[in-house]
Protein backbone atom coordinates (compact mmCIF):
# COMPACT_ATOMS: atom_id res chain seq x y z
CA UNK A 1 0.00 0.00 0.00
CA UNK A 2 1.42 3.46 -0.88
CA UNK A 3 2.88 5.74 1.76
CA UNK A 4 1.84 9.41 1.78
CA UNK A 5 3.73 12.23 3.46
CA UNK A 6 1.56 15.05 4.70
CA UNK A 7 1.71 18.43 6.34
CA UNK A 8 -1.26 20.04 8.03
CA UNK A 9 -2.62 21.67 11.15
CA UNK A 10 -4.08 20.01 14.20
CA UNK A 11 -7.12 21.09 16.18
CA UNK A 12 -5.08 23.77 17.98
CA UNK A 13 -3.79 25.24 14.71
CA UNK A 14 -0.24 23.96 15.16
CA UNK A 15 1.65 22.80 12.07
CA UNK A 16 2.19 19.03 12.02
CA UNK A 17 3.69 16.61 9.51
CA UNK A 18 4.19 12.88 9.13
CA UNK A 19 3.29 9.94 6.93
CA UNK A 20 0.26 7.73 6.56
CA UNK A 21 -0.39 4.43 4.83
CA UNK A 22 -3.41 4.56 2.47
CA UNK A 23 -4.60 3.36 -0.91
CA UNK A 24 -5.11 6.86 -2.35
CA UNK A 25 -4.45 10.48 -1.42
CA UNK A 26 -8.19 10.98 -0.81
CA UNK A 27 -8.25 8.07 1.63
CA UNK A 28 -5.17 9.49 3.38
CA UNK A 29 -6.97 12.82 3.75
CA UNK A 30 -10.02 11.05 5.21
CA UNK A 31 -7.82 9.30 7.75
CA UNK A 32 -6.20 12.61 8.73
CA UNK A 33 -9.58 14.27 9.17
CA UNK A 34 -10.47 11.40 11.45
CA UNK A 35 -7.38 12.24 13.52
CA UNK A 36 -8.52 15.90 13.65
CA UNK A 37 -5.68 16.96 11.38
CA UNK A 38 -6.49 19.37 8.55
CA UNK A 39 -4.18 18.43 5.65
CA UNK A 40 -2.43 21.20 3.70
CA UNK A 41 -0.33 19.00 1.42
CA UNK A 42 -0.32 15.25 0.74
CA UNK A 43 2.31 13.64 -1.48
CA UNK A 44 2.93 9.99 -2.27
CA UNK A 45 6.33 8.67 -1.20
CA UNK A 46 7.83 5.90 -3.32
CA UNK A 47 10.50 3.48 -2.23
CA UNK A 48 10.72 4.68 1.35
CA UNK A 49 9.81 2.93 4.56
CA UNK A 50 9.18 5.24 7.45
CA UNK A 51 7.23 5.06 10.64
CA UNK A 52 3.61 5.48 9.71
CA UNK A 53 0.77 7.23 11.44
CA UNK A 54 -2.11 4.83 10.92
CA UNK A 55 -5.71 5.00 11.87
CA UNK A 56 -7.52 1.75 12.30
CA UNK A 57 -9.94 1.44 9.41
CA UNK A 58 -12.83 -0.96 9.60
CA UNK A 59 -14.70 -2.80 6.92
CA UNK A 60 -18.46 -2.21 6.93
CA UNK A 61 -20.23 -5.37 8.00
CA UNK A 62 -22.14 -7.24 10.65
CA UNK A 63 -20.94 -8.16 14.14
CA UNK A 64 -19.32 -11.57 14.58
CA UNK A 65 -22.35 -12.96 16.48
CA UNK A 66 -24.76 -12.25 13.57
CA UNK A 67 -26.98 -15.08 12.38
CA UNK A 68 -26.16 -17.17 9.31
CA UNK A 69 -29.05 -15.61 7.35
CA UNK A 70 -27.81 -12.12 8.14
CA UNK A 71 -24.30 -13.06 7.02
CA UNK A 72 -25.64 -14.48 3.75
CA UNK A 73 -27.63 -11.29 3.13
CA UNK A 74 -24.55 -9.24 3.93
CA UNK A 75 -22.50 -11.27 1.43
CA UNK A 76 -25.18 -10.67 -1.24
CA UNK A 77 -25.06 -6.91 -0.61
CA UNK A 78 -28.41 -6.58 1.17
CA UNK A 79 -26.77 -4.68 4.06
CA UNK A 80 -24.68 -2.36 1.91
CA UNK A 81 -25.02 1.27 2.96
CA UNK A 82 -26.87 3.10 0.17
CA UNK A 83 -26.91 6.81 -0.52
CA UNK A 84 -30.52 6.96 0.73
CA UNK A 85 -29.32 5.67 4.12
CA UNK A 86 -26.70 8.41 4.30
CA UNK A 87 -29.19 11.11 3.26
CA UNK A 88 -31.61 10.03 5.99
CA UNK A 89 -28.76 9.88 8.51
CA UNK A 90 -27.59 13.42 7.64
CA UNK A 91 -31.12 14.87 7.75
CA UNK A 92 -32.01 13.28 11.06
CA UNK A 93 -28.68 14.21 12.62
CA UNK A 94 -29.22 17.81 11.49
CA UNK A 95 -32.56 17.90 13.29
CA UNK A 96 -31.31 16.15 16.43
CA UNK A 97 -28.10 18.20 16.80
CA UNK A 98 -30.06 21.40 16.14
CA UNK A 99 -32.37 20.42 19.01
CA UNK A 100 -29.31 20.07 21.28
CA UNK A 101 -29.44 16.31 21.76
CA UNK A 102 -26.07 14.75 22.74
CA UNK A 103 -24.34 12.97 19.86
CA UNK A 104 -24.25 9.53 21.45
CA UNK A 105 -27.95 9.61 22.29
CA UNK A 106 -28.85 10.97 18.85
CA UNK A 107 -26.90 8.29 16.99
CA UNK A 108 -28.10 5.55 19.33
CA UNK A 109 -31.70 6.58 18.67
CA UNK A 110 -31.11 6.50 14.90
CA UNK A 111 -29.47 3.11 15.22
CA UNK A 112 -32.57 1.71 16.91
CA UNK A 113 -34.82 2.85 14.04
CA UNK A 114 -32.69 1.48 11.16
CA UNK A 115 -33.58 -1.63 9.19
CA UNK A 116 -30.18 -1.87 7.43
CA UNK A 117 -28.23 -4.13 9.79
CA UNK A 118 -24.90 -3.22 8.21
CA UNK A 119 -25.47 0.47 8.89
CA UNK A 120 -26.71 -0.34 12.42
CA UNK A 121 -23.38 -2.09 13.10
CA UNK A 122 -21.45 0.93 11.80
CA UNK A 123 -23.37 3.40 13.96
CA UNK A 124 -22.90 1.13 16.97
CA UNK A 125 -19.13 1.32 16.44
CA UNK A 126 -19.37 5.11 16.02
CA UNK A 127 -21.18 5.45 19.37
CA UNK A 128 -18.57 3.26 21.05
CA UNK A 129 -15.87 5.52 19.61
CA UNK A 130 -17.63 8.62 20.97
CA UNK A 131 -17.94 7.00 24.41
CA UNK A 132 -14.19 6.25 24.30
CA UNK A 133 -13.40 9.94 23.77
CA UNK A 134 -13.09 10.10 19.98
CA UNK A 135 -14.46 13.01 17.98
CA UNK A 136 -17.34 12.31 15.60
CA UNK A 137 -15.08 12.84 12.56
CA UNK A 138 -12.59 10.33 13.98
CA UNK A 139 -15.30 7.75 14.66
CA UNK A 140 -16.84 8.15 11.20
CA UNK A 141 -13.37 8.16 9.62
CA UNK A 142 -12.99 4.49 10.54
CA UNK A 143 -15.27 3.78 7.54
CA UNK A 144 -13.81 5.76 4.61
CA UNK A 145 -15.67 3.55 2.11
CA UNK A 146 -19.00 4.67 3.62
CA UNK A 147 -18.34 8.28 4.62
CA UNK A 148 -16.57 10.22 1.89
CA UNK A 149 -13.70 12.65 2.31
CA UNK A 150 -16.09 15.55 1.74
CA UNK A 151 -18.55 14.24 4.35
CA UNK A 152 -15.77 13.89 6.93
CA UNK A 153 -14.41 17.34 6.11
CA UNK A 154 -17.80 18.99 6.69
CA UNK A 155 -18.26 17.14 9.99
CA UNK A 156 -14.72 18.04 11.08
CA UNK A 157 -15.30 21.74 10.41
CA UNK A 158 -18.73 21.59 12.05
CA UNK A 159 -17.22 20.15 15.24
CA UNK A 160 -14.46 22.76 15.36
CA UNK A 161 -16.85 25.68 14.78
CA UNK A 162 -19.65 24.40 17.00
CA UNK A 163 -22.10 24.28 14.07
CA UNK A 164 -22.46 20.56 13.62
CA UNK A 165 -26.13 20.96 12.69
CA UNK A 166 -25.20 23.10 9.68
CA UNK A 167 -22.49 20.60 8.73
CA UNK A 168 -25.06 17.78 8.62
CA UNK A 169 -27.45 20.00 6.67
CA UNK A 170 -24.79 20.74 4.01
CA UNK A 171 -23.79 17.06 3.88
CA UNK A 172 -27.43 16.09 3.33
CA UNK A 173 -27.76 18.66 0.52
CA UNK A 174 -24.66 17.33 -1.19
CA UNK A 175 -25.82 13.71 -0.97
CA UNK A 176 -29.28 14.63 -2.30
CA UNK A 177 -27.79 16.48 -5.27
CA UNK A 178 -25.42 13.59 -5.94
CA UNK A 179 -28.35 11.18 -5.94
CA UNK A 180 -30.37 13.36 -8.35
CA UNK A 181 -27.43 13.72 -10.74
CA UNK A 182 -26.87 9.96 -10.78
CA UNK A 183 -30.57 9.35 -11.43
CA UNK A 184 -30.54 11.80 -14.35
CA UNK A 185 -27.59 10.11 -16.01
CA UNK A 186 -29.04 6.62 -15.49
CA UNK A 187 -32.41 7.74 -16.84
CA UNK A 188 -30.81 9.08 -20.02
CA UNK A 189 -28.74 5.93 -20.63
CA UNK A 190 -31.32 3.31 -19.63
CA UNK A 191 -33.24 3.37 -22.94
CA UNK A 192 -30.26 3.02 -25.33
CA UNK A 193 -28.69 0.31 -23.16
CA UNK A 194 -31.96 -1.64 -23.12
CA UNK A 195 -32.28 -1.35 -26.91
CA UNK A 196 -28.67 -2.44 -27.53
CA UNK A 197 -29.03 -5.46 -25.21
CA UNK A 198 -32.27 -6.44 -26.94
CA UNK A 199 -30.60 -6.18 -30.36
CA UNK A 200 -27.67 -8.30 -29.19
CA UNK A 201 -30.02 -11.02 -27.89
CA UNK A 202 -32.07 -10.95 -31.10
CA UNK A 203 -28.93 -11.26 -33.24
CA UNK A 204 -27.71 -14.19 -31.16
CA UNK A 205 -31.04 -16.02 -31.54
CA UNK A 206 -31.15 -15.39 -35.30
CA UNK A 207 -27.51 -16.42 -35.79
CA UNK A 208 -27.66 -19.60 -33.70
CA UNK A 209 -31.19 -20.88 -34.33
CA UNK A 210 -32.85 -19.22 -37.36
CA UNK A 211 -30.15 -19.03 -40.02
CA UNK A 212 -29.13 -22.74 -39.70
CA UNK A 213 -32.74 -23.72 -40.60
CA UNK A 214 -32.62 -21.69 -43.80
CA UNK A 215 -29.10 -22.98 -44.50
CA UNK A 216 -30.32 -26.60 -44.52
CA UNK A 217 -33.22 -25.70 -46.81
CA UNK A 218 -31.00 -23.88 -49.31
CA UNK A 219 -28.49 -26.78 -49.41
CA UNK A 220 -31.25 -29.27 -50.23
CA UNK A 221 -32.50 -27.07 -53.06
CA UNK A 222 -28.97 -26.59 -54.42
CA UNK A 223 -29.61 -23.01 -55.50
CA UNK A 224 -26.96 -20.40 -56.20
CA UNK A 225 -26.95 -18.10 -53.20
CA UNK A 226 -26.33 -14.33 -53.26
CA UNK A 227 -23.30 -13.00 -51.37
CA UNK A 228 -25.49 -11.54 -48.60
CA UNK A 229 -26.78 -15.01 -47.77
CA UNK A 230 -23.32 -16.56 -47.94
CA UNK A 231 -21.98 -13.98 -45.48
CA UNK A 232 -24.83 -14.66 -43.04
CA UNK A 233 -24.38 -18.44 -43.21
CA UNK A 234 -20.59 -18.24 -42.81
CA UNK A 235 -21.01 -15.92 -39.83
CA UNK A 236 -23.54 -18.28 -38.27
CA UNK A 237 -21.24 -21.27 -38.80
CA UNK A 238 -18.29 -19.42 -37.26
CA UNK A 239 -20.29 -18.39 -34.18
CA UNK A 240 -21.70 -21.89 -33.62
CA UNK A 241 -18.29 -23.53 -34.04
CA UNK A 242 -16.14 -21.09 -32.04
CA UNK A 243 -18.61 -19.74 -29.48
CA UNK A 244 -16.41 -20.76 -26.48
CA UNK A 245 -13.51 -18.80 -27.97
CA UNK A 246 -15.76 -15.81 -28.69
CA UNK A 247 -17.07 -15.79 -25.10
CA UNK A 248 -13.53 -16.12 -23.77
CA UNK A 249 -12.36 -13.14 -25.83
CA UNK A 250 -15.33 -11.05 -24.73
CA UNK A 251 -14.96 -11.82 -21.02
CA UNK A 252 -11.16 -11.43 -21.18
CA UNK A 253 -11.54 -8.06 -22.86
CA UNK A 254 -14.06 -6.88 -20.26
CA UNK A 255 -11.93 -8.15 -17.37
CA UNK A 256 -8.79 -6.56 -18.85
CA UNK A 257 -10.54 -3.24 -19.36
CA UNK A 258 -11.94 -3.18 -15.82
CA UNK A 259 -8.53 -4.12 -14.36
CA UNK A 260 -6.85 -1.37 -16.38
CA UNK A 261 -9.51 1.19 -15.45
CA UNK A 262 -9.06 0.39 -11.75
CA UNK A 263 -5.40 1.41 -11.88
CA UNK A 264 -4.50 5.02 -11.16
CA UNK A 265 -3.12 5.62 -14.65
CA UNK A 266 -5.97 3.73 -16.32
CA UNK A 267 -8.64 5.67 -14.48
CA UNK A 268 -6.95 8.96 -15.40
CA UNK A 269 -6.75 8.06 -19.09
CA UNK A 270 -10.30 6.68 -19.21
CA UNK A 271 -11.79 9.72 -17.46
CA UNK A 272 -9.88 11.97 -19.86
CA UNK A 273 -11.13 10.10 -22.92
CA UNK A 274 -14.71 10.04 -21.63
CA UNK A 275 -14.83 13.81 -21.92
CA UNK A 276 -14.24 13.50 -25.69
CA UNK A 277 -17.04 11.01 -26.40
CA UNK A 278 -19.52 12.17 -29.06
CA UNK A 279 -22.76 13.47 -27.52
CA UNK A 280 -22.03 12.09 -24.01
CA UNK A 281 -18.58 13.62 -23.39
CA UNK A 282 -19.93 17.11 -22.77
CA UNK A 283 -22.43 15.70 -20.29
CA UNK A 284 -19.70 13.90 -18.30
CA UNK A 285 -17.70 17.13 -18.17
CA UNK A 286 -20.58 19.32 -17.04
CA UNK A 287 -21.68 16.81 -14.41
CA UNK A 288 -18.16 16.81 -12.93
CA UNK A 289 -17.86 20.60 -13.06
CA UNK A 290 -21.30 20.97 -11.50
CA UNK A 291 -20.21 18.71 -8.65
CA UNK A 292 -17.05 20.80 -8.26
CA UNK A 293 -18.93 24.09 -8.07
CA UNK A 294 -21.61 22.73 -5.73
CA UNK A 295 -19.28 20.97 -3.30
CA UNK A 296 -16.66 23.74 -3.34
CA UNK A 297 -19.33 26.30 -2.51
CA UNK A 298 -20.56 24.08 0.32
CA UNK A 299 -17.15 23.58 1.93
CA UNK A 300 -16.34 27.30 1.64
CA UNK A 301 -19.69 28.15 3.21
CA UNK A 302 -18.89 25.68 6.02
CA UNK A 303 -15.67 27.59 6.77
CA UNK A 304 -13.11 25.29 5.12
CA UNK A 305 -10.06 27.22 3.79
CA UNK A 306 -9.73 27.45 0.00
CA UNK A 307 -6.59 25.29 -0.23
CA UNK A 308 -8.04 22.53 1.92
CA UNK A 309 -11.40 22.86 0.17
CA UNK A 310 -9.84 22.27 -3.25
CA UNK A 311 -8.15 19.12 -1.94
CA UNK A 312 -11.42 17.83 -0.52
CA UNK A 313 -13.47 18.66 -3.61
CA UNK A 314 -10.97 17.01 -5.97
CA UNK A 315 -11.96 13.64 -4.55
CA UNK A 316 -15.68 14.34 -4.94
CA UNK A 317 -15.97 15.28 -8.64
CA UNK A 318 -15.91 11.67 -9.84
CA UNK A 319 -13.41 12.27 -12.64
CA UNK A 320 -9.67 11.70 -12.18
CA UNK A 321 -8.68 14.04 -15.03
CA UNK A 322 -10.71 16.96 -13.69
CA UNK A 323 -9.50 16.13 -10.17
CA UNK A 324 -5.94 16.47 -11.47
CA UNK A 325 -6.76 19.94 -12.79
CA UNK A 326 -8.31 20.88 -9.45
CA UNK A 327 -5.11 19.81 -7.68
CA UNK A 328 -3.23 22.11 -10.07
CA UNK A 329 -5.58 24.93 -9.06
CA UNK A 330 -4.78 24.21 -5.41
CA UNK A 331 -1.06 24.44 -6.12
CA UNK A 332 -1.62 27.77 -7.86
CA UNK A 333 -3.53 29.13 -4.86
CA UNK A 334 -0.73 27.92 -2.56
CA UNK A 335 1.73 29.93 -4.68
CA UNK A 336 -0.35 33.04 -4.04
CA UNK A 337 -2.35 33.18 -7.27
CA UNK A 338 -6.00 34.17 -7.21
CA UNK A 339 -8.73 31.57 -7.57
CA UNK A 340 -9.84 33.25 -10.81
CA UNK A 341 -6.36 33.01 -12.30
CA UNK A 342 -5.94 29.34 -11.41
CA UNK A 343 -9.42 28.58 -12.76
CA UNK A 344 -8.50 30.34 -16.02
CA UNK A 345 -5.25 28.39 -16.32
CA UNK A 346 -7.13 25.11 -15.84
CA UNK A 347 -9.08 25.77 -19.08
CA UNK A 348 -12.07 23.91 -17.65
CA UNK A 349 -14.57 26.73 -17.27
CA UNK A 350 -16.52 28.90 -19.68
CA UNK A 351 -15.97 32.69 -19.75
CA UNK A 352 -19.30 33.25 -17.96
CA UNK A 353 -18.29 30.98 -15.09
CA UNK A 354 -14.86 32.60 -14.85
CA UNK A 355 -16.48 36.00 -14.67
CA UNK A 356 -18.73 34.87 -11.82
CA UNK A 357 -15.69 33.49 -9.93
CA UNK A 358 -13.87 36.82 -10.42
CA UNK A 359 -16.86 38.78 -9.09
CA UNK A 360 -17.14 36.38 -6.15
CA UNK A 361 -13.50 36.98 -5.19
CA UNK A 362 -13.91 40.75 -5.41
CA UNK A 363 -17.08 40.80 -3.31
CA UNK A 364 -16.20 37.96 -0.92
CA UNK A 365 -19.16 35.86 -2.02
CA UNK A 366 -17.37 33.02 -3.80
CA UNK A 367 -19.52 30.37 -2.10
CA UNK A 368 -22.79 32.02 -3.20
CA UNK A 369 -21.68 32.53 -6.78
CA UNK A 370 -20.33 28.98 -6.96
CA UNK A 371 -23.81 27.81 -6.02
CA UNK A 372 -25.15 29.81 -8.98
CA UNK A 373 -22.45 28.26 -11.18
CA UNK A 374 -23.64 24.82 -10.07
CA UNK A 375 -27.23 25.75 -10.94
CA UNK A 376 -26.00 26.83 -14.39
CA UNK A 377 -24.25 23.50 -14.95
CA UNK A 378 -27.26 21.54 -13.64
CA UNK A 379 -29.51 23.30 -16.15
CA UNK A 380 -27.01 22.59 -18.94
CA UNK A 381 -26.82 18.90 -17.95
CA UNK A 382 -30.61 18.60 -17.95
CA UNK A 383 -30.77 20.14 -21.44
CA UNK A 384 -27.90 17.96 -22.69
CA UNK A 385 -29.54 14.80 -21.37
CA UNK A 386 -32.76 15.64 -23.19
CA UNK A 387 -30.81 16.36 -26.36
CA UNK A 388 -28.91 13.07 -25.93
CA UNK A 389 -32.16 11.13 -25.79
CA UNK A 390 -33.47 12.94 -28.86
CA UNK A 391 -30.23 12.24 -30.76
CA UNK A 392 -29.92 8.59 -29.77
CA UNK A 393 -33.41 7.57 -30.93
CA UNK A 394 -32.88 8.20 -34.69
CA UNK A 395 -29.41 6.65 -34.50
CA UNK A 396 -30.85 3.48 -32.98
CA UNK A 397 -33.67 3.43 -35.53
CA UNK A 398 -31.20 3.65 -38.43
CA UNK A 399 -29.02 0.95 -36.85
CA UNK A 400 -31.95 -1.41 -36.33
CA UNK A 401 -33.21 -0.73 -39.86
CA UNK A 402 -29.76 -1.61 -41.24
CA UNK A 403 -29.72 -4.92 -39.36
CA UNK A 404 -33.22 -5.81 -40.53
CA UNK A 405 -32.26 -4.96 -44.11
CA UNK A 406 -29.18 -7.20 -43.99
CA UNK A 407 -31.15 -10.09 -42.52
CA UNK A 408 -33.98 -9.61 -45.00
CA UNK A 409 -31.66 -9.54 -47.98
CA UNK A 410 -29.73 -12.57 -46.76
CA UNK A 411 -32.76 -14.72 -45.97
CA UNK A 412 -35.42 -13.65 -48.46
CA UNK A 413 -33.36 -12.99 -51.61
CA UNK A 414 -32.72 -16.73 -52.21
CA UNK A 415 -36.39 -17.51 -51.56
CA UNK A 416 -37.45 -14.80 -53.99
CA UNK A 417 -34.97 -16.08 -56.63
CA UNK A 418 -36.28 -19.65 -56.23
CA UNK A 419 -39.89 -18.59 -56.50
CA UNK A 420 -39.08 -16.50 -59.59
CA UNK A 421 -37.28 -19.46 -61.22
CA UNK A 422 -40.17 -21.81 -60.41
CA UNK A 423 -42.70 -19.44 -61.93
CA UNK A 424 -40.53 -18.60 -64.91
Q: Does residue 104 register a pLDDT over 60? A: yes
Residue 69 lies in a domain: no
More confident residue, 65 or 255: 255
Q: Note whether 184 and 133 are same-domain residues.
A: no
Helix axis angle, 264-274 to 320-334, nearest 10°: 100
Residue 70 lies in a domain: no
DSSP 223-235: PPPPHHHHHHHHH
Q: What mean pLDDT is predicted for residues 233-259?
A: 90
Q: Does residue 252 register a pLDDT over 90? A: yes
Residue 62 lies in a domain: no
pLDDT of residue 257: 93
Q: Note whether 141 and 178 are same-domain residues.
A: no
Residue 68 lies in a domain: no
Q: Note whether 100 and 175 are same-domain residues.
A: no
Q: Note whether 280 and 393 are same-domain residues.
A: yes
Give the residue among 307, 42, 309 at the shortest CA–CA distance from 31. Answer: 42
Total of domains in the chain: 3
Q: What mean pLDDT is predicted for residues 143-158?
A: 80
Q: Does residue 369 register a pLDDT over 90? A: no
Q: What is the pLDDT of residues 31-64, one digit of tens each?
A: 776 666 767 677 777 644 433 334 444 555 555 5
Q: Note whether 130 and 231 are same-domain residues.
A: no
Q: What is the pLDDT of residues 378-421, one digit of tens each?
A: 888 878 877 877 777 788 788 888 877 877 777 777 777 666 65
Phi and psi at 329, nearest 5°, equal: -60, -40
The Cα–Cα gap between 105 and 115 comes to: 18
Residue 351 lies in a domain: yes
Q: What is the pLDDT of residues 284-308, one digit of tens each?
A: 888 888 888 887 887 787 777 788 7
Q: Note whether 136 and 175 are same-domain residues.
A: no
Task: Give the number of C-alpha atoms closer than 13 A to the C-alpha of residue 52, restricted to the C-beta side.
Answer: 16
Residue 155 lies in a domain: no
pLDDT of residue 401: 84
The Cα–Cα gap between 410 and 395 comes to: 23
Whichever domain contains 201, its CATH number is 1.20.81.30
Q: Note whether 93 and 230 are same-domain residues.
A: no
Q: Note whether 335 and 238 are same-domain residues.
A: yes
pLDDT of residue 72: 60
pLDDT of residue 135: 83
Q: Note whether 249 and 365 are same-domain residues.
A: yes
Q: Note whether 135 and 265 are same-domain residues.
A: no
Residue-range definition of the domain harbouring residue 127 = 78-147
pLDDT grade, residue 214 (50/70/90)?
confident
pLDDT of residue 256: 94
Q: What is the pLDDT of residues 225-239, one digit of tens each?
A: 777 778 888 888 888
Q: What is the pLDDT of residues 412-423, one digit of tens each?
A: 777 776 666 555
Residue 72 lies in a domain: no
Q: Note whether 325 and 362 are same-domain residues.
A: yes
The Cα–Cα gap between 239 and 208 comes to: 7
Phi and psi at 348, nearest 5°, equal: -100, -25
pLDDT of residue 49: 43
Residue 67 lies in a domain: no
Q: Note whether 333 and 389 are same-domain residues.
A: yes
Amino acid sequence: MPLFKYSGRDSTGALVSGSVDAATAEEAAAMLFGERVTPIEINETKGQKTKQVKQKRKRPGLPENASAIDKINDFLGANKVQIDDLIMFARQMHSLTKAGLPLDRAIRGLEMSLTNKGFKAILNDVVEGLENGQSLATALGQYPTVFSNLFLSLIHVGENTGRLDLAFREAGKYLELEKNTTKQVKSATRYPIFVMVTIAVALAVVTVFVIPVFEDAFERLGADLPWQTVVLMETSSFVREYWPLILFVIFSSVFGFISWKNTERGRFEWDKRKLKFPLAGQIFERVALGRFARTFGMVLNAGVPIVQGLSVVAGAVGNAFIAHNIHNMREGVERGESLHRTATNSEMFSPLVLQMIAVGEETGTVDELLSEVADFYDAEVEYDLKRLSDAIEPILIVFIAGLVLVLALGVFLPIWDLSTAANG
